[in-house]
A and B are shown apart, each in its own frame.
Chain A
């Protein structure tokens, strides 16, 4: 510590303010608003999950008289949220894994190799971004139904199967994954891959041992993005898993709580179930926060 001039905290704050200029106040105001918009519903959900029915419909911000942890217990046992949570984890795990493996390979080839039709394939992927999923829900239902009639593998990929849902998730996640990763791979220095070729690496080795590690920030952010997207899917599993209640995912289970009993739903259990589905996402996001930020800014910084 000797030799350094002590700087007061106020002075530091002053300096930071000077650096940021007059826009600082406005940007902080916007950030505060944004934070409120994000935090309030989450806090409200968690709060409601430990309240009694009367308390939920009473004062929104009142604290519960006692912690009603039995809401959580009811959600877990009576509404089978445990089973649905497991189903969600399985479907999202395979869905994201498949999306990332296929998407990163496709994006790499489209970004790094010149070949006839490459541009067209890329545009085909990207045009998928503009494709509204729900518009094609009925045809999708019939496509998956027909997949069930494929010999040998049919029973595993048709309606009411995990794999059927996983394949549809992958198909719907690929456009954004390819779009984002192709742009990301283009920003990586080409000379490194060339050095690996000269060193004696094959194309697949260059991809898996050189390019994938270099693209890690981008891969992590897209992975998180895909997990979030697939975790929150409701419409697709609702259509594709309609006939197999034991394979339902989280979102269906939650909806079931509110719809099954008409207006006499178990609201406490509903909020508890919602909390159970939110928690894993918050935990994942917190763990990978740094990588997500790195991935989102990597292209800009170079």
Chain B
């Protein structure tokens, strides 16, 4: 096992396209690091550079205490799992698992032992004599995992390994991956475009966009305090609601005003976000997570401290069983910041209502007890302690520790 350190890593393709731009990332020994971002953000390229399948245009990659820039993949002591499994089609499962060990001239009995252990762990024992073509997608994926496990490498590199599986299998494979990492404790770098996978799997998550690192943090931190509009819009599903609003000082304290609504901003928010008071009287971009809404009828403490009422008309409701997504219109133009646009190409929900015109479509996630239906008027309550504020020009989160002084 080993740590992996990327220092100022660049990847420039022929033609001058910069796929990865000055990436600095330290993956600790035994850590599960997820690289996430929309397609084309450079996450796969970064992983392939760690694997040695892609030349490094600049910077330095260290695995363990070895600089590996010019080492071929076989000398890096890493194992990789590919999106389309990449099993050797003419070999049986057993031969697939043993191939890497045979190449390393391991004695036969040892190979047998490791293959059997891995097969047992992954439930592949009865398939050892089969060829990959005779396996289902999930079984093939497990063989691909097994091929990595038997090697007992310094690090696992996984390139969207679950994206070819159907939804249900993906969830169960996600759980097995978590278990496997718990058990083996091997440093893992995992690439995905699915932010749910990123949130559930990673010890830490690294959000990339256009080859640039946006934020590296634990999943909860990413969710609670995104560093900029892009991360805020990309992480979380349904994604965060944005509106251009004005921060004003009123009688009862600070308020945020948008589209005819006024929400109080508690003093604790100003304490937590240094620099926010400098925006009083100015425009900011306000962000509210769908999960920070609730139906006032369903909320047990609907009148509790910090929860403010917001009467709206539910345009569309999506019932998910345990909760309901309420889509409603806010009388303000959609925020057209480059960051929010970039984050949204992953999320089709927003494009569903093209008739919203000059209004922005927001989503609230309320308890299923609310029983709200499309077309009904509903009174939502907002948890004003979890409001997010972004600078309208730079898109950076106001008062975020990483942005202070930027």
Residue positions of A touching B, CB distance < 8 A = 189, 191-192, 194-202, 205, 210, 213-214, 216
Contacts and interface: CB of A to CB of B under 8 A. Distances in A.
Given A191-B82, A205-B103, A198 B51 contact: yes
Nearest to B81: A195
Contact of A195 (B72, B82, B90, B103): B82
**Chain B binding surface SS class:** loop
A197 B73 contact: yes
A73 B99 CA distance: 55
B380 to A, nearest CB: 48
Contacts of A210: 88
B90 A199 contact: no
Chain B contact-residue range equals 20 to 34
Contacts of A200: 74, 100, 103-104
Contacts of A213: 88-90
Contacts of B88: 192, 195-196, 210, 213
Nearest to A195: B86
B80 A198 contact: yes
A199 B74 CA distance: 6
B367 to A, nearest CB: 45
A189 B84 contact: yes
Contacts of B73: 194, 197-198
Interface of B: 51-53, 72-74, 78-80, 82-84, 86-90, 99-100, 103-104, 147, 151
* Pairs of residues from A and B, 10 with the lowest C-beta to C-beta distance, nearest first: A199-B100, A191-B86, A200-B74, A195-B86, A213-B90, A200-B103, A191-B82, A198-B73, A198-B80, A197-B73
B90 A196 contact: no
Q: Which of A192, A194, A195, A216 has the most CB of B within 10 A?
A: A195
B89 A199 contact: no
Contacts of A196: 88, 99
B86 A197 contact: no
A197 B53 contact: yes
Given A213-B90, A214-B89, A214-B90, A194 B82 contact: yes
Contact of A189 (B52, B80, B86, B99): B86
Contacts of A216: 90
Contact of B53 (A198, A199, A205): A198
Q: Which of A199, A213, A214 has the most CB of B within 10 A?
A: A199
Given A189-B84, A191-B84, A205-B103, A198 B90 contact: no
Given A191-B86, A194-B51, A194-B82, 18 more contacts: A189-B84, A189-B86, A191-B84, A194-B53, A195-B82, A195-B87, A197-B52, A197-B72, A198-B51, A198-B73, A198-B74, A198-B79, A199-B79, A201-B74, A213-B88, A213-B90, A214-B90, A216-B90
Contact of B147 (A191, A199, A201): A199
5 contacts: A191-B84, A195-B147, A197-B52, A198-B80, A213-B89
B38 to A, nearest CB: 22
Contacts of B99: 196, 199, 201
B54 to A, nearest CB: 10
B86 A194 contact: yes
B236 to A, nearest CB: 31
Contacts of A192: 86-89
B152 to A, nearest CB: 13
Contacts of A189: 84, 86
Contacts of B53: 194, 197-198
Nearest to A203: B72
Q: Which of A189, A198, A210, A216 has the most CB of B within 10 A?
A: A198
A87 B272 CA distance: 92
A191 B51 CA distance: 13
Contacts of A205: 103
Nearest to B105: A200
Contacts of B89: 192, 213-214
B104 A198 contact: no
B100 to A, nearest CB: 4
B270 to A, nearest CB: 52
B59 to A, nearest CB: 21
A189 B73 CA distance: 18
Contacts of A202: 74
A214 B73 CA distance: 22
A200 B102 CA distance: 9
A199 B157 CA distance: 12
Contacts of B104: 200
Contacts of A197: 52-53, 72-74
Nearest to A210: B88
A224 to B, nearest CB: 20
